[in-house]
Chains A and B, each alone.
Chain A
Amino acid sequence: MNAPSGSGSEAASEPAPLATASGPLGRAFRRHPTLFGMPALLVAFLALTVAIHPEFGSFDAQSLAMGALPLAMAAAAQAVVVLSGGIDLSVGSVMAVANVLAATTMHDGSFGESLLLSVAIIVAGAAVGAVNGLIVVWTRIPDVVVTLTTGFIWGGVALLILEKPGGGAPDDFLNLGTGTFMTDWLPNSLIMVVAVVVAIWVPVFRSRVALLLYAVGSDRTAAFRSGVNIARTRVLAYIVGGLFSAVGGLSLTMITGIGSPLAGVYYTLSGLAAIVIGGVSLTGGRGGMVGPVIASFVLTLIPTDLIFLNIDPNYGQVIQGTLIVLVVMVGGFFALKRSRA
C-alpha cells in the first residue's frame, strides 16, 4: 500500500496501550473483554474436558489442534472481512477450491513441489478474494448477497476441479498438519495456526492498512471524508481473507489427506460462529484476531466433549447455534448497558 507519510501503526485499535490511568488491569479488562475472556473461556473448556475425560492425553491435544486448524483459518478470513464492514459467506467454498486444487496437483509430487504449489494456491486464494471484493465494490450489491452467490459459484468451481473426494499429497506435506514438533504435546497444527496468523495478520496489523480497515469498518462515511479509498480498502480486506481461506483449504488437505469438493460447507457458518463468539462485531470495526482464533478451539472442543460425555454428537450443532445466539445476546446486552452508562 502506498501509505501517506507519517506513522499510524499504534492508532489502529485492538492492543491499544494498555491503560495508563488508575486500575490499569481493570481498565484493560473493560476495554478488551475478549482478549481476557477468550483465553479464560478456552481454559475453562479445557478444564471441563479434562474433568470429564481424565485420560486427556497428547493424542487428544493433537486432534483438538488438527480440528481447530481449518476452522481457525476460516475464522481469520471472516474476521478480516467483517472488521472492514463486510461479510464473506464464500469462505467455505474458497477453502474447498484450495483443498481440491492442492489434492489434485500435489498427488504425485515431491515435498518441494507441494510447497511451491502451496504458494501458488495461496496466491490463487488472494485472487479469488480480490474477485469477491471487486464484485462487491463494482456492482454495489450488498456483501451478503454477493458472497452468498459467489460462494455458490466457487462451490461449482470446486466440483469442476474434482468431482468426488480423491487426490492426495506427499506424506511430508501431510505431516505439516498432522505431525508433532519436539514433543507429543506440541502438534504441528497448533504451530501452523500461530505461524500463519502471525505471518499474515501481524504485517497487516502493524502497517497503515489495519488503520484503514478499522476506519472503513467502523464508519464508512467518516473514513471517506478523511480521504480513505473505501473501495481499495474493502477489496484489500477480501484479498487478505482469501489468503486465510486458501491456507485453510491447504490445511484441510493436510489433515484429511485428500481433496473433497464439499468439505468447505461447514466452515462458512462455523467460521462466522467463531468470530461472533470471539468478539468481532458484525457491524464492523470492532474486534481482533486473537478472539476468533481461540474461539475456533472452543468450538472444536464442544463436539469432543459431547463424545466424552456419551451424548449424541449431533447435539453439537444445536449447542453451537444456541451458543452463537447467546454470545451475541450477552454482547448486545453489555453494549446497551455501556451506551446508557
Chain B
Amino acid sequence: MSDSAASMRPAGSAATLGGILLRLRQHPMIALILVLLVFMVGIELIRPGTVTPDWLSNLLLFAAPLGIIAAGQTLVLLTGGIDLSVASIATGSAYLLATTATAHGSVAAVLIGLGLGLLVGLINGIGIALLRVQPLVMTLGTGLMTEGAMVVYSQKFLEVEPKIPDFVFALGSSKILGYVPFDLFLWAPLAVLIILGLRRSGFGRLLYAVGDNRIACHLAGVRVWQVLLVDYALCGILAAVAGLVIVGSTNAADLSLANVYLLPSIAAVVIGGTSIVGGRGGYSGTIVGAIILTVLNSLLTLLDAPEPIKQVLYGAIILALAAAYTRLTG
C-alpha cells in the first residue's frame, strides 16, 4: 500500500513539496498539530479575540470526555476490533449514576455506573474473545441491549428524581485556579497511564501484536483471548468514566445523552493515526484527534449556520481529514 501511494506522487515538484510530504509522513503528529493550528487560526479569523486562555481551558474541559471515550476505542482499534457500544455504555453509566445517587449515596452511584461499563465490556470481551463473534456485531448487539435495558429501567424507576452528585458536576464543569479544568486531573493521569502502558508494559505490546497478527500471536503462545477480554473490559470502563464526565458537564441525564459521541470516538482515533485494521497507532495521536474535533465543533458553532449544515460540514471535514491522513501515511 505504501509503495503505490508513493509512486502516485508527482515526481516533478519533489524537491520542496515532496520533501515536506516525506517529513510529514515520518512524523504524522506534526501534520496533526498543523491542522489543529489551522483550525485555531480559522476561529481567530472568523471572530478575532476568541482564542484566549479562557477559551483554551474550555477547549480542554470539553475535549476530556471525548478523549476518555476515545481512549477505550483506541485500545480496541489497536487489536483490529471496534466498539460500537461505547455511547450506550456512557449513557447508561451516566443514567445509573443520576438515578441511584439519592438512594445509595454518591460513591456507590459512581461505582454502579462504572460497574455497568465493566459488565458490558466483559460481555463484549467474552463474545469476541471466547466465542469469536465479530466485534462489530457483538458490540452492536450489546449496545442495543444496554440501550433497551436503560429504557426499561427508566420506566420502572420513573418516580426517582435524577440527581447528579456535586463532585461529578464539579468534575465535568468546573476549573481550578481559574484555568485548569477539573476533568484534566482525571484525563491527564489516564493519558499518561495509557501512553506509557502501551509503550512499556507487556500488555500494551500484546495489544499491538494481536492487532498485527493474531495467528502469529497464538502460535507464539500468547493467550489471545485473555488479551482481548481485558481490552474490551477496559474499553467499557473508560466509556463509563467518560459518561460520568459528560453527565457532569450537562448536569442532567437522559437516555440519549452520549449518542453524539459514537462517531467522534471513532473519528478521533482514526484522525489520530491509529489503523482500524489494527497494530499501528497510539493514544497520543488520539488525544490530538479529540482536541481537533472539539476545536472543529467550536469553529462550526461560530459559523452561525443551521444545525443540519453544521452536521454535513462536520462529517465532510472528518472524512477529508481521515482521507488526508490515510493518504499521507499510506
Contacts and interface: CB of A to CB of B under 8 A. Distances in A.
Given A148-B263, A155-B311, A314-B151, A329 B131 contact: yes
Contact of A318 (B132, B145, B323): B145
Contacts of B267: 145, 149
Nearest to A144: B82
A321 B140 CA distance: 7
A283 interface: yes
Nearest to A142: B276
Nearest to B137: A328
A269 B84 CA distance: 11
Interface stretch (A10-18, A156-164, A185-193): A156-164
A149 B308 contact: no
B266 interface: yes
Interface residues of B, number: 46
Contacts of B127: 325, 329
Contacts of B134: 282-283, 328
B19 interface: no
A55 interface: no
B142 interface: yes
Contact of A332 (B131, B142, B148, B155): B131
Contacts of A314: 148, 151-152, 155
Contacts of A146: 319
Interface string B137-157: 110111111111101100100
Contacts of B307: 159
Contact of B133 (A144, A321, A329): A329
B1 to A, nearest CB: 8
Contact of A150 (B145, B146, B308, B319): B319
Contacts of A332: 131-133
B316 interface: yes
A153 interface: yes
Interface stretch (A119-127, A133-141, A225-233): A133-141
B105 interface: no
B257 interface: no
B322 A282 contact: no
A316 B152 CA distance: 10
B302 interface: no
Contact of A321 (B1, B148, B152, B276): B148
A276 interface: yes
Contacts of B140: 269, 272-273, 321, 324
A333 B131 CA distance: 7
B323 A139 contact: yes
A317 B133 contact: no
Q: Pick from A146, A318, A336 the residue with the most CB of B within 10 Å.
A: A318
Given A153-B315, A159-B311, A315-B152, A139 B133 contact: no
B138 A325 contact: yes
A316 B311 contact: no
Interface in B298-330: 306-312, 314-316, 318-319, 322-323, 326-327
Contacts of B318: 149
B70 to A, nearest CB: 13
Contacts of A153: 311-312, 315-316, 319
Interface string A270-305: 001100100000110000000000000000000000
A314 B150 CA distance: 9
Nearest to B308: A159
B309 A152 contact: no
A316 to B, nearest CB: 7
Interface in B93-127: 127
B270 A145 contact: yes
B136 interface: yes
Contacts of A158: 308
Given A318-B152, A320-B144, A325 B319 contact: no
A148 B77 CA distance: 15
Given A139-B326, A141-B326, A329-B131, A160 B309 contact: yes
A125 B267 CA distance: 25
B308 A160 contact: yes
Contacts of B143: 321
B41 interface: no
A7 interface: no
A272 B143 CA distance: 13
A322 interface: yes
A245 to B, nearest CB: 17
A328 to B, nearest CB: 5
Nearest to B151: A314
A321 B144 contact: yes
Interface of B: 1, 82, 127, 131-134, 136-138, 140-149, 151-152, 155, 262-263, 266-267, 270, 276-277, 306-312, 314-316, 318-319, 322-323, 326-327
Of all A-B residue pairs in the complex, the 8 with the closest CB atoms, nearest first, are: A317-B148, A156-B311, A321-B144, A321-B145, A159-B308, A153-B315, A139-B323, A318-B148
Given A273-B141, A321-B144, A321-B147, 7 more contacts: A153-B319, A156-B309, A282-B134, A312-B152, A318-B149, A320-B144, A329-B127
Interface of A: 87, 135, 138-142, 144-146, 148-150, 152-153, 155-160, 163, 269, 272-273, 276, 282-283, 312, 314-322, 324-325, 328-329, 332-333, 336
22 contacts: A87-B136, A139-B326, A141-B319, A141-B326, A144-B82, A144-B276, A145-B266, A146-B319, A149-B315, A152-B263, A155-B311, A159-B307, A160-B312, A276-B137, A314-B148, A317-B145, A317-B147, A318-B149, A321-B142, A322-B141, A325-B138, A332-B131
